[in-house]
Amino acid sequence: MKSRQAKRLARSSLTLSLLVVIGAGFSTISSASDIDARSAKTGDSKYVQVVVTPGESLWSIAAMVADHSEIASVIADIVEVNQLASADVSAGDKILVPVS
């Protein structure tokens, strides 16, 4: 009897684990779709258009594309190229972000 319960528990755990992995995959695909494939050429630098998601800031976006020591300069570049009045962005905003 315990063997049957142990198998059922193991199967349930495996199923739950697979569902979590699949859910994480869909979440990643959803986030990746927020990055527009179109690139804009400005001077010698390339930019991609990014849609700001809830909870993101210029700091978190810049941190994804820059080394730790360069985050402030990337933020300044984003503010300049997008002609932002400040470093504040809202979910749904479309901004150009430099890529290397």
- CA dist 18 to 14, 26, 89, Å? 6, 12, 35
Same domain, 27 and 72: no
Say whether both 52 and 5 belong to one domain. no
Q: Are 49 and 67 members of one domain?
A: yes
Contacts of 82 (CB under 8 A, 6+ apart): 95, 96
Q: 23 or 7, which is more confident?
A: 7
Q: Are residues 40 and 88 in the same domain?
A: yes
Question: How much of the chain exceeds pLDDT 70, in percent?
Answer: 62
Question: Do residue 44 and residue 79 come from a single domain?
Answer: yes
Q: 94 with 56: CB under 8 angstroms?
A: no
* Residue 22 or residue 38, greater confidence: 22
Going by pLDDT thresholds of 50, 70 and 90, the confidence category of residue 18 is low
Predicted pLDDT of residue 40:
45
Please give the model's pTM, rounded to 2 decimal places. Answer: 0.55
Q: Are residues 7 and 40 in the same domain?
A: no
- How many residues in total does the chain contain? 100
Give the structural domain span for 58: 34-99
Do both 25 and 41 map to the same domain?
Answer: no
Query: Across all residues in the chain, what is the average pLDDT?
Result: 75
Count how many domains the chain has: 2
